[in-house]
Amino acid sequence: MAHIRMKIYSNCLRRYTHVTVLIPTPTENDYLQDIDTYDKPAFFQERPRYRVLYLLHGTHGDDTDWSYYSNVERNIIGTDLMVVCPDGGNSFWVDMEDGPRQQTFLTGELREYINRMFPTRPERENTFIAGLSMGAYASLNTAFRYSHLYSKVAGLSGGVGTGSLSVLRTRTYPYKLILDPPDYAVKGSALDGEESIMILLSSGNPVPDVYLTVGSEDELVYTSVQESRRLLDDYRIPYVYDEGPGGHTFEFWSEHIARIIPWMLEK
């Protein structure tokens, strides 16, 4: 496994930021079968081309969370999927009303950087996005608003239902930067999940495949995920729903990202 942590400068953010990149290295099946040694792997003789999963962290997390606390590195061994984990702070990856343009960074600047730096397959059908908790909300919100970029999206323990976003008014989130004064209302803002769905449906772009999963004991976001399901049902957007035992923990997320990756790699 190639585990790369990069420090790059972003014009959108006006600062340096960290990005963790995970790239699967050869398995035994990648080597030529007609030689006795491992010094001429087919993996390196023919330049590999990777599909890309942008994988977002949750509140108080950073770009290292998925690699430190889950089995995602093990899950991509033997695949052609590379994983890109950006650091989004507590921003929900939206372009702020009076602050950094996090969503533009994620969908534009970072994506262009990754596609130039690594041998990716940059087409929409080979580009995916997923996240946990705050990152789940951001993944769905971003995939719906930029549906021409992502063919599949997965939300782990989070959705686009806005019922739980009263938490934004705590000191945890820079809501006065994210939301528009004087009311700082979610409705009509960059975090309005229903508006994101309407942007998707009016765009004329293909609808991304959607996967939602939440733990049955997750008191923090369970209601929000059910609200998201109702929204998707109301707008007739199909989705896979996977509920299982567990809470708002990396034990749950590690187990379920292992299910989501094969789903993403299905043709």
Break the chain into its structural domains and give their ranges: 2-265
C-beta separation of 160 from 191 below 8 A: no
Reported pTM: 0.92
Q: Is cis: bond before 182, omega within 30 of 0?
A: yes
Instruction: Return the structure tokens found at 45.
Output: 């003789």
DSSP 33: T
Return the CATH number of 2-265, one of 3.20.20.100, 3.60.10.10, 3.30.70.120, 3.40.50.1820.
3.40.50.1820
Other CB atoms within 10 A of residue 15 CB: 9
Query: 250 CB contacts (<8 Å, ≥6 apart)?
Result: 65, 69, 70
User: One digit per residue, pLDDT tens: the chain, 267 residues?
Assistant: 899 999 999 999 999 999 999 999 766 666 555 555 556 555 555 667 899 999 999 999 999 999 999 999 999 998 999 999 999 999 999 998 778 899 999 999 999 999 999 999 999 999 999 999 999 999 999 999 999 999 999 999 999 887 767 777 777 888 888 887 788 888 888 888 999 999 999 999 999 999 999 999 999 999 999 999 999 999 999 999 999 999 999 999 999 999 999 999 997
| Distance in angstroms (rounded) separating the CA atoms of residues 8 and 109 | 11
- Residue 217, C-beta contacts closer than 8 angstroms, at least 6 positions apart: 245, 246, 247
Residue 209 bridge partners (DSSP):
152
In DSSP notation, 110-154 reads: HHHHHHHHS-B--SGGGEEEEEETHHHHHHHHHHHHTTTT-SEEE
Amino acid symbol at 119: P
